[in-house]
Chain A
Amino acid sequence: MEVGPSLLTRPMAGAGSGSSRQDRLYPPASRRWNDAAAPYLFIAPFLVSFLAFFALPSIYSVVLSFFRYNGYTTEHWVGLNNYRSLLEAPDFHDSVVNTVFYLFVPMLPMLVGAFLLALAVRSKMSNLSPVYRPLIFVPQVMAPVAAALVWRVMLSNNGVLNTALGVHVAWLTDPAALKWGVAMLLVWRGLGWYFIVFLAGLSGVPEDLLEAASVDGASAGRRLWHVIVPLMRPTILFALVIDTIASLQLFTEPNLLVGGAGTTAGAPPSAAPVMNQVVTNVIGGQFGLAAAAGWMVFVAIGCFSLIQFRLFREATQ
């Protein structure tokens, strides 16, 4: 079978005629090689950077997780000890519990709140969506560091929240209250992002379908539950997966909010996320432990994402 010239090697229309001239200029063997090589040339810039900055370091980090290594001396093989010692460490257990808290507790108010806000802004009742949209999104634009520092003031003993609620909760120091303060910050910051996501998803819901349901006598609640939510399922899945990944990789907010600002101290065990296991081990020169912790987070993200995809696929079917 004769193989046609590639887009790169093909002569321009009218530039020549007959396969003999083509064969002379572009021998079949050369054409075959070019055909095979062309796509790889196109993706080479990505491929090289992907290999250099992601794939190879990732492979290296898997190898590293079986060694004890401080970065500039000799590596010591420790087998699975890094994984075992992490799994046995009380700090690691605490950080996993905290991370699960940061995953599930803010999720409901954030996603449901964002969805309802998107519905409200898109509804015919609202004439001020050009005003609400940027306002709701503003917290997302704010740098996490700035947001955490502002919330640090708001949650202080004499801060806005305690004064407004008339309570005396030590949000920044009481081990029982630390995570709740972080959860409030996460909801406040994430609401705007998921609001935009859901707003985009709602624009894909056909108006005529809603009108038809309305004509058929469906109430607002039934239209929401039986028309909008099923059509929004891919968007909801996207939001869930993104939120899960972000929550499992959480680092900045808890450490800045309840860690020692102005010092190098991170969040205490009762509020530290699992990413602290990676970062503190990097700072401590324990690269093997840091790599092992990183891969455990990666596996957790994979498992959670898989479960979410499966649940939604089953629900869709």
Chain B
Amino acid sequence: MPANWTPKRLSYKPAKAWFAGGIVAASMLVACNSSSPPTAVDTASANANITALTWGDAKYFNTQFGFYHQDFPNDAKQQTLTVTIGGSNDGEAISKFRLALSSHQNIPDIMEMNYSALPEFASQNQLADISSYTGSYLPGMSNAAKTLMQYNGKYVAIAYEVKAKLWYYRKDMFAAAGIDVTQVKTQQDFIDAGKKLQAKYPKSYMWNLAPNPQAYILGEITSGNGSQVYDKSASKFVVDSNPGIRNAFVAMKDLRNSGVVNTKFDDFTPDWQAALADGTLASVPIASWFATFLPQYAPNLGGKWGVTVWPEIGGAVGGSEAGGSVFVIPAAAKNKAAAAKFLSDMFMTSKGELELFKAQNLVPNVVQAQSDPSVLNNAYYGSDLIKAFQAADKDYKLFPYDPAGIKEISILQNALANYLSSSAADPSAALTAAGQQMTAQIGNPYSQ
């Protein structure tokens, strides 16, 4: 060590200055960023690179875009598609979308979301009105698709999956047990049919409802029985007084106690998959998307599973899986026209929807495509699937989501789980607690 080297106690003043400078610089960066206006340049169709934000897997988007080039070469001319995966589930993708809106950066031209999330963005005018792009395609769409495309009477979405309520049942077992599904119209009929089934097949059930059933089951009931979480005119949560929600809770408990419903396993568990294949589950009231999964779980039962509409459960006549899956175009998207053209061609025409049906077995939302021989004569379900789908279309309804729908469902689902695992027959305590939690944590959903 040199002789003139002496240890020195460093002053903390420069550190303070650097820290302060860092904060100022970061603040300026943030300020510059947030003050940049959104660049909403609508570049029609040619040479556009359409961007899409979804979750899970990009392959469906890319497959559809491949068909777009193949089937609509003039519209797709020189266009490309870049798909971003926002996460493994819709919630993560929605979080990414919020970030994009917050930063005004990387706003996708197409965002896929479940309808439950749509009111939040539509109420904040973050979604483009697509009437001018899709108006000419609308007459060919099913009632369900048209319902799903709107929020407060404005067209802001293009329907992907309407998620109609369908009841899948084992035709062979029902026939052997003497059950006529056309006569199963009410919840009591459903329970009586289950007793008939168990007289013939003692180890079989009509449904499975675990103590914490999937949120979509509650949605399937509440979307059809007039349920409401928030009363906008009264500016208050009515979850504890709304008869629809109460009826849905009680119905699920009654069904669990009826003996004809298996209460031991949940959907998407190994037990559930095995039960669908071995006859333990002889019927499942669920949604239209299940048509894709059942042949995977029970590949040897083609022709034995029939499809019809739900009986009235929890007072629900018709409904949906509380809204389906949609594509929206953000108001600040750069390529709105090109994105709308792609979505309209592929999801609102007979040709595009039939490609989707071939690729994913999704029942078409275009009425004309529903009468295509490939749809009418489904290899697994025969003509049952499309007939039931069309019957469900007549009574298709959405749950009246408000802008805080995602949070409300989470609270409501927890209240249901608490109620189902308690010994109480009356759901008042669970619903009151849910209402208080919503009031405290959400306040007014329309002033978020």
Contacts and interface: CB of A to CB of B under 8 A. Distances in A.
Interface of A: 1-5, 10, 19, 35-37, 39-40, 47-48, 51-52, 56, 68, 70-73, 76, 78, 81-82, 84-86, 88-91, 152-153, 156-159, 170, 172-175, 260-265, 268-270, 272, 280-286, 289
B414 A269 contact: yes
B265 A157 contact: yes
B2 A4 contact: yes
Nearest to B272: A156
Interface residues on B, range: 35 or more
Contacts of B433: 90
22 contacts: A4-B4, A40-B14, A47-B22, A51-B26, A68-B448, A70-B120, A72-B102, A72-B124, A81-B440, A85-B440, A89-B437, A90-B433, A156-B265, A156-B270, A158-B274, A173-B211, A173-B266, A175-B421, A261-B268, A263-B215, A264-B89, A285-B448
A140 to B, nearest CB: 23
Interface string B263-278: 1111111110010000
Nearest to B447: A76
B440 A89 contact: yes
B57 to A, nearest CB: 13
Given A260-B266, A272-B414, 17 more contacts: A4-B5, A35-B8, A51-B23, A52-B26, A72-B98, A78-B443, A156-B270, A156-B271, A173-B264, A173-B265, A175-B417, A268-B414, A269-B417, A282-B95, A285-B94, A285-B98, A285-B406
B372 to A, nearest CB: 30
B102 A71 contact: yes
A270 B210 CA distance: 13
B98 A51 contact: no
Nearest to A1: B6
B18 interface: yes
Interface string B63-107: 000000000000000000000000001111011001101100000
B15 interface: yes
B437 A91 contact: yes
A84 B15 contact: no
A157 B414 CA distance: 23
Contacts of A37: 14
Nearest to B422: A175
B182 interface: no
Contacts of A81: 440
A262 B404 CA distance: 24
Interface string B405-448: 01100110110011001000000000001001100111100011
A208 to B, nearest CB: 38
